[in-house]
Amino acid sequence: MKFQRQAKILDLIDRFEIETQEELTDHLRALGYNTTQATVSRDIKELRLIKALSAETGKYKYSVAAAGAADSFTTRLRNIFRECVTGIDAAQNMVVIKTLPGLGQAAAMAIDAMRASDVVGTLGGDDTVFVVMRNNDAADRFRKQAHDILK
């Protein structure tokens, strides 16, 4: 449940400009997560979220740390990926990843954060992620690597 909640936090801060822990807690509760501000505070610390200035509103909002974040953040993203993915398949240069409902965008974010050189881009839906690879061989390699993460 912890990893699913943290995956949902990453999804929420990607979709909304969330300024406070209370606002984040309210979003989670609206989605059915029975959580407290203290739990959200620990999640923010574990995910190493930062407050960044929003270009749209000029206010500070929660955001994922920039490139070069600590290895523990990468480990956390891999754990989130492991907890939310239910299946992986490849078709030519595309990898299709199935997730638990509501966690497709979090899985896509985890893939983006891995910064794999052969990944052209990701598209995360509710429970599916499409990963476009440079070529068919790269898709097959990525599919195998993603399966290895799940072990």
Biggest CA–CA distance in the chain, Å, is 46
22 three-class SS: helix
Whether residues 60 and 91 fall in one domain: no
- Other CB atoms within 10 Å distance of the CB of residue 151: 5
| pLDDT, tens digit, 9 for 90 and up, residues 70-122 | 455 567 677 777 888 999 999 999 999 999 998 888 888 878 877 778 999 99
Whether residues 89 and 50 fall in one domain: no
Whether residues 140 and 100 fall in one domain: yes
Task: Please tell me the total count of domains within the chain.
Answer: 2
- From residue 11, alpha-carbon distances to 47, 100, 124 in Å are 12, 13, 10
Do residues 98 and 2 lie in contact, with contact meaning Cβ atoms separated by under 8 Å? Answer: no
The answer to whether position 69 is within a domain reads no
The pTM of the full predicted model, rounded to 2 decimals, is 0.57
- For the chain, the average pLDDT equals 86
Range of the domain at 125: 85-150
Residue 20 in tokens: 């406070």
The answer to whether position 72 is within a domain reads no
